[in-house]
A and B are shown apart, each in its own frame.
Chain A
Amino acid sequence: MMHGGLSIFSREPNRKNSFYIGNMNWWTTDLHVIATVKDHGLGDVVCLKFFENRANGQSKGYCLVEVASESLAQNAPDKLGNIEIHDRKLMIAHALRISPHQFESKCNQAKEQGTTPVFSSNSLSSSPGQLLGSTGSSGLAKTSTVKTTLPGVIPPLPNPIFPQPPRPPTIPGFPTPPFAGLRPPGLPDFASMGLPGIFPPPFPPIPNASSINPFTSRPGGLPTLPPMPPAALAALGSAGAAVGSDVTKLTAPHLNPAFLQDMSQSGANMAEMLAHAAARFRSQTAAFSSMSVSGGRASPGDRGKSLPNHPSDEEVSETNQRNKAISSSAITRAMSDAQAGDYESAIDTLRMAITLIKQSVTANSEASQIMIQSLQDCLQGMEQQQQSSNASKFVHSIAE
């Protein structure tokens, strides 16, 4: 069956009549999207474009859909706003109001803030029955989307041999660790310590004096984390994708050194940054595991420090130097990207640098704060530039 034919894919969607659909699974296909759009009174899809990781072709979970008219596109948030495809509540935004990059951050935010409930069917503990049999409030819409309108398509069941791509369960208010895909060698230790498979965060929460193992209670019992804007983490995720690493690829269980190698061709400092961050992350989790085993050395008084290990003077100066290198190379890179018109990469670069510096052991120092501030200023400027250039892009396409 031809849905408007192959012309749907042969050009870029016209933003005026388009809207973004996001927060989808990586395996939600173009046919699913087309059917859903049609079923909810928005007519035929004229043009469709998915956003993917360039490194491996995996869908980022959002796409740009063009429909027949601007008014239909403007109705899309109402018609599709509460719909779920494959148990994921869709995020809809009109294409003129939001840029792809902003949308991607929003989608990542939604995932972190638990629009999917903790340990839902998307988590590690999924069972095949849940996907199809769930009768949630949107069950009707979902089943009609998935079952009746695509009679030939069986909704993907979690394959018992290869279950849902392993991903850390999303916990409300708990930002997804940026290296969600990383499994440092220490992970099996966590499992054996009775942790429910929760992936250690970059800032391991300081255990309360009362509970040695911070994960014995349900996620609600976690102490507050040091402030880290989810957007920064999300941006790190998208920045990681932008530089072609599989850091945010939730299916990848390890950081493939080949990607670091590739990155070294396009910007040595990126690879360096990520490698340093990865190494730091491993040492943090190692420190965390040893801390838990020894019964929790850290006391509540340590709350001021965001990390359980006390950095030595050498570490401090080393980290400061590294941060300086990160921020200056990030700014240089971002500038040249911006000159070339590639605002998305520039913004990603800056965001990632900010996140890395914030994560470092000297994040609270004045020097780091200054660096973060200047990066953020740069970022703001970049975003403004991008908005004005997007506007001019739009004008051009109308003129054609």
Chain B
Amino acid sequence: MDIVNLYPLSNYTFGTKDPMYEKDRTVESRFNRMREDFEKYGMRHSVEGVLLVHEHNLPHLLLLQLGEPSSPLYLWLTEAPCYAGPSPSGTTFFKLPSGELQMGETETEGMLRIVNNTLGREDGMKTDWKVRDVVSNWWRPNFEAPQYPYIPAHCTRPKEHKRLFLLQLPEKALFSVPRNYKLVAAPLFELYDNSAGYGPVIASLPQVLSRFNFVYI
């Protein structure tokens, strides 16, 4: 009974707002902060939002495209030797709206806070998004880029746990996109089997979303 309503991309309007920079400016600082946080608080819990629209009766995933190839997130991810993502030679980089959960915050609260910070409108009106199911989990066994959809058998203390949530969008909405990002809608076939282009997390979304019954309104 997992029915999900999808609306056409044209139902949504896009505006801009101030740039939103990552907490960590360099690759090294990202690692260091993760290590420090791990010692104090244990495993990091991150959430990412899967926002879907449709075009021509095919679901499209909303992705944030990083404008500056020299951003720390981009570098951090491309540093891993096994990085199966976009090559650093000038092409850009995609991510989902994501962030870390704060102490005492539930996943739903955190997800809504993060997606409002990233794409929410600034004119006082609230976007009515609903957090629906978890679509996948990824774990990071070390303070390094590789993440896997399982905890490797020898690892009892993953350093980060990332959960992807399907968000139900309202029928119409205004998204304010930070100036340093572009918002794109990628059809599922573009992601399918394309770890090289989008990384393993995003490229596996067509499979994990296949269980839903999408209604193209």
Q: Which residues on A are within 8 Å of B, measured CB to CB?
A: 5-7, 9-11, 24, 26-31, 50, 52, 54-59, 244, 258, 261-262, 265-266
Determine which residue in A27, A56, A57, A261 has the highest number of CB atoms from chain B within 10 A of its CB, and name it: A57
With A9-B159, A10-B38, A30-B156 in contact, do A54 and B196 touch (Cβ < 8 Å)? no
Once the chains are docked, how many angstroms separate the CA of A24 from the CA of B154? 10
CB distance from B72 to the nearest CB of A (A): 20
With A6-B42, A7-B39 in contact, do A29 and B156 touch (Cβ < 8 Å)? yes
CB distance from B153 to the nearest CB of A (A): 4
Once the chains are docked, how many angstroms separate the CA of A100 from the CA of B180? 42
B70 contacts chain A at the CB level, 8 A cutoff? no
Contacts of A27 in B (CB 8 A): 153-154
Ordered by A's residue number, 28 sampled pairs between the chains whose C-beta atoms are within 8 Å are: A5-B39, A9-B38, A9-B142, A9-B159, A10-B36, A11-B35, A26-B153, A26-B154, A28-B154, A29-B153, A29-B155, A30-B154, A30-B156, A30-B157, A50-B154, A54-B81, A54-B82, A56-B148, A57-B146, A57-B152, A57-B155, A58-B153, A59-B155, A258-B195, A261-B196, A262-B195, A262-B196, A266-B81
Closest 4 CB pairs of A and B: A59-B154, A27-B153, A57-B152, A54-B82
CB distance from A248 to the nearest CB of B (A): 15
B141 contacts chain A at the CB level, 8 A cutoff? yes
Contacts of A6 in B (CB 8 A): 38-39, 42, 157
Q: Which residues on B are within 8 Å of A, measured CB to CB?
A: 35-36, 38-39, 42, 80-82, 84, 87, 141-143, 146, 148, 150, 152-157, 159, 193, 195-196
Once the chains are docked, how many angstroms separate the CA of A54 from the CA of B36? 23
Contacts of B157 in A (CB 8 A): 6, 9, 30
- Selected from A55, A59, A261, the residue in CB contact (under 8 A) with B82 is A55
Once the chains are docked, how many angstroms separate the CA of A258 from the CA of B141? 23
CB distance from B206 to the nearest CB of A (A): 15
CB distance from A400 to the nearest CB of B (A): 14
Once the chains are docked, how many angstroms separate the CA of A148 from the CA of B195? 44
Contacts of A55 in B (CB 8 A): 82
CB distance from A136 to the nearest CB of B (A): 23
Once the chains are docked, how many angstroms separate the CA of A28 from the CA of B143? 20
Once the chains are docked, how many angstroms separate the CA of A326 from the CA of B48? 43
Contacts of A26 in B (CB 8 A): 153-154
- B43, closest chain A residue (CB): A6
Taking a contact as CB atoms under 8 Å apart, the answer to whether B155 and A50 are in contact is yes
CB distance from B28 to the nearest CB of A (A): 14
Contacts of A5 in B (CB 8 A): 39
With A10-B39, A258-B195, A266-B81 in contact, do A59 and B153 touch (Cβ < 8 Å)? yes
Taking a contact as CB atoms under 8 Å apart, the answer to whether B154 and A29 are in contact is yes
- B81, closest chain A residue (CB): A54
CB distance from A346 to the nearest CB of B (A): 13
Once the chains are docked, how many angstroms separate the CA of A30 from the CA of B193? 33
Starting from the known contacts A10-B35, A57-B150, 14 additional A-B residue pairs (CB-CB under 8 Å) come to A10-B143, A24-B154, A26-B153, A30-B154, A50-B155, A52-B152, A54-B146, A55-B82, A57-B141, A58-B152, A59-B152, A59-B154, A258-B193, A265-B196
Once the chains are docked, how many angstroms separate the CA of A266 from the CA of B196? 12
With A6-B42, A9-B38 in contact, do A30 and B155 touch (Cβ < 8 Å)? yes
CB distance from B55 to the nearest CB of A (A): 28
CB distance from A280 to the nearest CB of B (A): 26
Taking a contact as CB atoms under 8 Å apart, the answer to whether B148 and A57 are in contact is yes
Contacts of B152 in A (CB 8 A): 52, 56-59
Taking a contact as CB atoms under 8 Å apart, the answer to whether A262 and B84 are in contact is yes
- Selected from A30, A59, A244, A261, the residue in CB contact (under 8 A) with B81 is A244
Once the chains are docked, how many angstroms separate the CA of A10 from the CA of B32? 9
CB distance from A19 to the nearest CB of B (A): 18
Contacts of B148 in A (CB 8 A): 56-57
Contacts of A24 in B (CB 8 A): 154
Contacts of B42 in A (CB 8 A): 6
- A242, closest chain B residue (CB): B81
Determine which residue in A9, A31, A261 has the highest number of CB atoms from chain B within 10 A of its CB, and name it: A9
- A50, closest chain B residue (CB): B154
Determine which residue in A50, A52, A59, A265 has the highest number of CB atoms from chain B within 10 A of its CB, and name it: A52
Once the chains are docked, how many angstroms separate the CA of A59 from the CA of B152? 7
- B42, closest chain A residue (CB): A6
CB distance from B32 to the nearest CB of A (A): 10
CB distance from B81 to the nearest CB of A (A): 6
Taking a contact as CB atoms under 8 Å apart, the answer to whether B156 and A52 are in contact is no
Contacts of B39 in A (CB 8 A): 5-7, 10
Once the chains are docked, how many angstroms separate the CA of A252 from the CA of B159? 26
Once the chains are docked, how many angstroms separate the CA of A58 from the CA of B155? 9
Contacts of A31 in B (CB 8 A): 156
Determine which residue in B35, B152, B193 has the highest number of CB atoms from chain A within 10 A of its CB, and name it: B152
- B141, closest chain A residue (CB): A57
- B40, closest chain A residue (CB): A6
- A153, closest chain B residue (CB): B156
- A11, closest chain B residue (CB): B35
Once the chains are docked, how many angstroms separate the CA of A244 from the CA of B157? 24
Contacts of B82 in A (CB 8 A): 54-55, 244, 262
Once the chains are docked, how many angstroms separate the CA of A258 from the CA of B197? 13
CB distance from B171 to the nearest CB of A (A): 39
Once the chains are docked, how many angstroms separate the CA of A28 from the CA of B156? 10
Taking a contact as CB atoms under 8 Å apart, the answer to whether B141 and A52 are in contact is yes
Taking a contact as CB atoms under 8 Å apart, the answer to whether A265 and B87 are in contact is yes
Contacts of A29 in B (CB 8 A): 153-156
Determine which residue in B82, B141, B193, B196 has the highest number of CB atoms from chain A within 10 A of its CB, and name it: B82
- B148, closest chain A residue (CB): A57
Contacts of A262 in B (CB 8 A): 82, 84, 195-196
